[in-house]
Structure 1
Amino acid sequence: MQSSSKVRHSKSRNGCVRCKAKKTKCDERKPGCARCEERGFQCPGYALNVRWSRRPQVRAEGSASKQSEAIGSPKRRSLSASPRAPLDTETLDNTYSNTEGSRQLNSWFGFSPHWDHPVPPDLSSLSTITDAMLGIQRPASALDSSTETTFLSSALDADNDHSSSPSNRQETPKDNLFAEASFPSEARLSGFQLPQRHGFFEDRNREILSMPISTALIQPNRDLSTQIPKELFNIPTSLSEYFFREVITLYCAWDSKSNVMRNIIETSWQSSGALYHTIQSMSAACLSEDFPHLLPVARREHLQALELLRQDSLPTHKQAMLLASQLLGHTSSWLTPQNLATDMFRTSCDILQDIMLETGRDATISFFSDTMDYWAMLLAYLTDSHQLGGYDRNSPFGPAESTKSDEPHPYSGISRDTVKILADIGVLVFQYRKRISKVKFLTENDIDVFRTALRDARKLERVLLAHRSPDLSQVKDPGDPKTPLKHLQLIDEAYRCTGLLQLYRVFPDLLNERYAPWDKDYLLRPLPSDKTPTAQERQTWLTKLAMHILGILREIPFESRTRSAQPFIMVACSSELRRNPQHLRSASVAVGDLDVLAIDPASIEVARARKFVLSRLAAYTHILPLRKSRVISELIDQIWSASDSGSTDVYWLDVAHEKNLGTMMG
């Protein structure tokens, strides 16, 4: 009997999947191997099971980094070798993005540093500000091609869509810069779990992780860092572009090529250090809600601009210095909401006086003068008059009447005269309320103060009643489709009525002299009163006036750039939106008490007016996400809480002072 020995097969590395699993020799015949066919199986085919080892690439990156350090410039070697120190503006784009931005980005993505590959040029269509803020690096070729492209192609467009603001970024087909149709479906990054982020970062992360990448990009490349040098996007340049594209349109009541503010900045920002750092600070502050690491940048740029403003004494830069001073003062509340920067107001007054002595009065001086009037109006209700220094609206600021521009002002529109009257009312009201709040026992001197204030208030009332808005046919249309002249006329009317509302609230005798049941047709043509109204009748009349003012604002669509002027008006009206006291009782009232449960139409209108104020302020905060916007909303909440708790004669100026919620409202 012949003994049979078991056939021995050598192991196979390159056989079909079944042969490799059984560790048997495979003849590797195609389309199927002989072993599978003899046993009646369908050959599963051939696949190479290879895992990528990172060790060679790690060694290559280590040697390449050492080589680059050896041949790098002295400046770069000193930056990498020196310990971390406070950043200055010259090294902002080189150090801040490379450290804080990249580490924050890695923490969001869960990236290992070894995955920090340069993005190839064909994927470099992201907006400049996006990459700069996130600390993303690109090769030099991508930088060269994208430097001249339009900034922020998918940035917020507050004028077209409310939902596209930085604080609520939603991906749409228009904004999707990495639509699949734009790239071939090659290998894609996979296996990464995105953290739950909100808003812009979530969409941005998803776009980056879904990008198609070339096979060559993930191949270990020993000379990767030397062949494609990594360079940082210039954050200051990005912030400057963002200022001209977005910030000006949010800051001004209208904007076009004829905007004096825009023209002055465009011609001076590169030659004036103070103005340059000012616009850097404003842009960084606007973006800090969605990019928190820009808040220190905004503060640092603000301080740098202030320092340069104190040092710069060149006569050729006087106008740029004045504009920088005005912007720094007005936007100090962007960084610290309660900072009214009255010192900057006084400094701006002094600079304006010097310029007028040197150059005389012209149309440009008119812009600066009207800016001071608008600024004074916002400050007058929140600070003592001595904080305004030598400001006097009757001083010879600005040009003569014959040389004044017929174009609306970028901040006050066509309301130059109305703004001055409102400023005077603010000074009078603040001083009077401050004096009366300290009176516990009335003296004859207090009576004299009251009589003087009432006499001044009566004069201001007559000026407002006699005021007529400029004839629109005589006003030059600035050419902003978002803000036609009609919107500016409505704002002027709202300003005038707001001034009357303040006078009638603080000085009830003025309302008593003209009281008649509410009729808006006779608001500006009052008749002598034939009766003295009760306190409740006066309150009802003031509530009707406040809702009339809000009705004027309702006629203006939110897309209008006059939205920047509306918060002051809404706050000034808020303390008059009082509910009927009987509707503020406990919710446990018996169901059978129909008299208590009944709601009159006036209360419904007040509720609607409150909702309008809240919705418009929320949209304003959404478009201009600054902390001062939230302070304004908090002030209104405090006003209504005090009113609804049963407090009588709640006045918004008193609440702002008591709760320390005064901020710039324009």
Structure 2
Amino acid sequence: MYGCEISNRLRDTDTKRSNATKHNKSPEPPNDSRSKSNGILDGTDASTREEVVEEIYPTPVPETALWPESEWMGLTDLIGLDSTNMFDQEFSGGLESIAIETPNFDFSTSNWLPDFCFAMSPQQNSWLDLGIAGQIQPPCINSDSSMRLLKCWFDEVCPAWSGFDSKSNLNRKTAEGLWQSSPPVFAALQSMSASFLSARLPQMRHSAMNLLKTATLSVQAEIQELNEKNVLDEMPTGIIFALICLGTTICWLDTRRVGWPFLQEAKTLLRWSSQQQFAADADKLDFFNKSLTYWDMLISFIYDPEPGTDTHQVSALPSTFQRSGSLHTYSQSPYEAEPHPWTGVSLLSTTLLARSIRLCRLYRHRANDRTLHSPSTAPEIEQAKELEVDLLQLQLSPRPSLNDTGDQRTPATQLLHVAESYQLASLLQLYIQFPSLLVPHSQLVLRDPGEQEITALWHKRIIPLSLRLIEVLEQIPSESGSCAIQPLLYICAATGLRYTPTLPLDTESNSISGGSQVKPRPMESILDYLDLLKDPLEHSKEEADPLSVSQMALDVSKGRAFILRRLSVFKECLHPAPIEVAERFTKELWAAYDEAPRWSMDVCWISLMEKKDLRTLFG
């Protein structure tokens, strides 16, 4: 486990505290020319200062506050606040709807935080020099508590939030470089840790909500400052990273929330940064663009695209984005040699899944609104054909030359399996939603196949494709660090695991409804009594397919069991709340499949997700 371990945390702490008490002094607030409070509060008495502070940082009105009233509180003080209604509604109008400002803090002007360092890696390399003098934290937050939360982030949260973890993990490297200098990142990491721990320590839920508020206010304040300047002197790396940290983990506190306004703010800042053409920040732009693409893909899976959305445009940056000062354009290749903690070794496979899901949802929405006299074909079908070609042409083998992840639990080959799984999942979703793609190509015109033909296509093509996806997932060990980017793949595989009839339709019809009905006879034995335990649906199935279980049915049952086992493992190593939603959804979907009339393919996972509202960030 990579991360941090406090050393010498209490060194000289008692001495410092006793000295502070003896001299009746507290740590001085940092000098920051950007902070509104510094210039106003200097040279004022205590009463005047309280009035000014109240004017600058007014107390929120309880009826309209999104979070509990307290803005800066210690962790122990936050426990007990009523925050149960914190997430009754998603943020409306973006982050600017939260009008309270948060002070700015310069982490380089004081020596407040206790020294601590991080555990050595197996190579005995220290990744962070956290004993540097001059590190502080926002006032009124207990220093030891903040350090414990930061330690938790590097120890537990970062590995559970990334597809691999080592010195090469850009999530970790970015946090290391920013937590000391960026107030939003400093607050965001603590917020993430508290949210993560709240799954094991329910009493921390209130603290986590307040820390989320604090971090959001810090981000909003810096965004407001950038908007007022109307020009970027440098890339706002800290703000973008904090937005990603908060937006992708808000579902840990409320699974219904996917951080949409955080994503939009991050996209806006990233595009703004790309327009400034900061040559030295090309790698950062690339890193953040991949992160936002992955995040957008997760949202695309659970929500219909907005009207007018270009299903081809997934990247937050335009396709003509210039990297560095070279003439080479930013383009997607089948794989990248340098692994990304979320998109792995293939951004293209992530992008194609996002495009496939968007298209499926768009087509399903159009199909639901289609009138009886409207044509059965739609422009989405042609786009599906193009996507199918792109996916079939995606070559991830023979094994490309990839850089080592540095994570013994997650070698690059496992990320290659993840990329292949995304490819198979994309094809699976296209075939489920557009079964006409599986009709022999000798038929020049795509048509909607009949119900019996669709069932045959499921039996011959769709279910085997789902089982192939499961075979690839089985090659990834359950202890792999890539589990953070796998849950969506298991849900995709689950959508293709349904039992199909094995008897011809006319045979089944004759056996069930044809001919004279057999009149019930009186019970004559214990076996007759046991027959009463069967429901009519099960009874009809047994008559149609007596005492026979196909090999495919066995394979489907094994595949379902494997998915549930892996999801149970994920609940142990990831935040359990989103995984529990994934479990409920897969079970609801399979129950709907199994309870549907035989030969009926009417059950659609998209419609079921909408009906049951079982959605969150599955990754």
TM-score above 0.5: yes
8 Å contact from structure 2 (residues 321, 330) kept in 1: no
Residues 332 and 339, structure 1, Cα contact 8 Å, conserved in 2: yes
Q: Which residue of 2 aligns with 1:374?
A: 294
User: How far off is 1:461 after superposition?
Assistant: 0.3
Q: Tell me if structure 1 keeps the 8 A contact 2:75–2:207.
A: no
Q: Give identity over the alignment, percent.
A: 24
In 2, Cα distance between equivalents of 1:545 and 1:442: 34
Deviates more, 1:301-310 or 1:468-477: 468-477
1:618 aligns with one of 568, 573, 587: 568
Match for 1:538 among 457, 460, 465? 457
Amino acid at match of 2:270: L
Please tell me the residue identity of whatever aligns with 2:418. I
Equivalent AA in structure 1 for residue 271 of structure 2? Q
Q: 1:462 — aligned with what?
A: 389
1:333-482 map, 5 Å? 333-358=251-276, 359-360=278-279, 362-386=282-306, 392-393=314-315, 395-397=319-321, 399=323, 406-444=337-375, 447=376, 450-469=377-396, 472-482=399-409
Conserved 8 A contact 1:151-1:241? no
Aligned residue in 2 for 1:608: 558
User: Which residue of the other structure, out of 453, 467, 478, is the alignment partner of 1:558?
Assistant: 478
* Cα distance change on mapping 1:585 and 1:577 into 2, 3 Å: farther
Which among 201, 218, 224 is matched to residue 291 of structure 1?
201
Q: Distance in 1 between matches of 2:329 and 2:422?
A: 25
Cα distance between partner residues in 2 of 1:590 and 1:383: 37
Q: Deviations over 1:514-548 (max 9, x none)?
A: 599xxxxxxxxxxx9xx998222211121111011
Q: 1:408 to 1:71 in 2, by over 3 A?
A: closer
Asked if 1:496 is matched to 2:430, the reply is: no
TM-score, normalised with respect to structure 1: 0.61
2:468 counterpart letter in structure 1: H
Name the SS for the 1:373 alignment partner. helix
The answer (yes or no) to whether the contact 1:574–1:652 under 8 Å persists in 2 is: no
1:252 pairs with 162, 167, 176, which one?
162
- Structure 1, residues 599-644: CA drift from partner, whole Å, max 9, x if none? 2222111111111000100110122243222111111111011111
TM-superposed CA distance for 1:594, in Å, is 10
Instruction: Give the aligned residue type for 1:629.
Output: I
CA root-mean-square deviation: 3.8
Q: Which AA in structure 2 matches 1:366? A: D
Q: For residue 306 of structure 2, give the secondary structure of its aligned residue in structure 1.
A: helix
Alignment partners' CA distance in 2, 1:483 and 1:515: 44
* Amino acid of the structure 1 residue aligned with 2:574: L
Give the Cα–Cα distance (whole angstroms) in 1 for the partners of residues 184 and 348 of structure 2.
31
Deviations 1:290-331 (A, max 9, x none): 211111122212222222111103655701111111222211
1:636 matched to 2:557? The reply is no
Q: Does 1:95 align with 2:77?
A: yes
Q: Summarize the alignment of residues 34-183 of structure 1 with structure 2, pairs less than 5 Å apart.
A: 88=70, 90-93=72-75, 95-96=77-78, 148=116
- The structure-2 alpha-carbon separation of the partners of 1:413 and 1:311, relative to structure 1 and needing over 3 Å to count, comes to same
Q: Which residue of 1 aligns with 2:175?
A: 265
Q: Secondary structure at the match of 1:546?
A: helix
Deviations 1:450-470 (A, max 9, x none): 331111000000000011127
2:339 and 2:374 map into 1 onto residues whose CA distance is 47
Q: What letter is aligned with 2:455? A: Q
Which of 301-310 and 412-421 deviates more? 301-310
Query: How far did residue 663 of structure 1 move?
Result: 1.0
What is the one-letter code of the residue matched to 2:254? T
d(CA) in 1 for partners of 2:292 and 2:442?
Answer: 35
Distance in 2 separating the partners of 1:638 and 1:590: 22
Q: Which residue of 1 aligns with 2:211?
A: 301
Structure 1's 329 and 503: CA in aligned 2 closer, same or farther, altered over 3 A? same
**Residue of structure 2 equivalent to 1:214:** none
Matched, 1:274 2:184: yes
CA 603–392 in structure 1, closer or farther in 2 if over 3 Å, else same: closer
Counterpart of 1:128 in structure 2 is: none
Question: 1:87 deviation in Å?
Answer: 7.4
Q: CA 1:660–1:73 in 2, change beyond 3 Å: closer, same or farther?
A: farther
Shift of 1:401: 5.3
Structure 1 letter corresponding to 2:547: L
Letter paired with 1:534: E
Q: Is the 8 Å Cα contact of residues 369 and 398 (structure 1) preserved in structure 2?
A: no
Report the counterpart of residue 80 of structure 1 in structure 2: none
Structure 2 portions without partners, runs of 5+: 1-20, 27-61, 63-67, 82-111, 121-140, 227-232, 504-533
Is 2:436 the counterpart of 1:509? yes
Change (3 A) 1:236 1:377: same
Change over 3 Å in CA distance of 1:515–1:619 after alignment to 2: farther
Q: SS where residue 546 of structure 2 aligns?
A: helix
Measured in 1, the distance between the counterparts of 2:440 and 2:216 equals: 50
Q: Which amino acid aligns with 2:487?
A: P
Q: Is the 8 A contact 1:93 1:233 kept in 2?
A: no
Q: Normalising by structure 2, report the TM-score.
A: 0.66
Look up the SS of the partner of 2:439 in the other structure: helix
Q: Is the 8 A contact 2:314 2:355 kept in 1?
A: no
For the 8 Å contact 1:151–1:242, the answer to whether it is kept is no
Alpha-carbon distance in structure 2 between the residues aligned to 1:438 and 1:555: 41
- Letter aligned with residue 416 of structure 1: L
Distance across 1 between alignment mates of 2:544 and 2:274: 69
Q: 1:594 to 1:307 in 2, by over 3 A?
A: closer
The alpha-carbon distance between structure 1 residues 373 and 587, as it changes in their structure 2 partners (threshold 3 A), is closer
CA contact (8 A) 1:581 1:646 kept: no
On the 8 A contact 2:71/2:213 being kept in 1, the answer is no
Q: What amino acid sits opposite 1:651 in the alignment?
A: C
C-alpha distance 442-327 of structure 1, shift in aligned 2 (>3 A): farther
C-alpha separation in 1, matches of 2:469 and 2:442: 18
**Counterpart Cα distance in 1 of 2:237 and 2:455:** 52
Report SS of the residue matched to 1:483: coil
Q: Of 638, 656, 659, which residue of structure 1 is paired with 2:609?
A: 656
Superposed, which structure 2 residues align to 1:180-329 within 5 Å? Answer: 234-312=144-222, 313=225, 315=233, 318-329=236-247
Structure-2 change in CA distance of 1:287 and 1:389 (3 Å): farther
- One-letter code of the match for 2:552? A
Report the Cα offset of residue 474 of structure 1: 2.9
- Stretches of structure 1 lacking an aligned partner (at least 5 in a row): 1-69, 76-84, 101-143, 153-230, 517-527
SS in structure 2 opposite 1:286? helix
Amino acid at match of 1:346: Q
Corresponding position of 1:163: none
Contact map agreement 2:251 2:616 (CA 8 A) in 1: yes
How far apart, CA to CA, are the structure 2 residues paired with 1:623 and 1:149?
24
Q: Is the 8 A contact 2:165 2:407 kept in 1?
A: yes
Give CA deviations for 1:193-213 in whole Å, capped at 9, x if unaligned: xxxxxxxxxxxxxxxxxxxxx
- What is the letter of the counterpart of residue 289 of structure 2? S
Deviation at 1:432, TM superposition (A): 1.2
Letter in 1 for 2:206: P
Give the C-alpha shift of residue 471 in structure 1: 6.3
Q: 1:514 to 1:241 in 2, by over 3 A?
A: farther
Checking the alignment, whether the CA contact within 8 Å between 1:278 and 1:305 is kept in structure 2 is: yes
Larger radius of gyration: 1
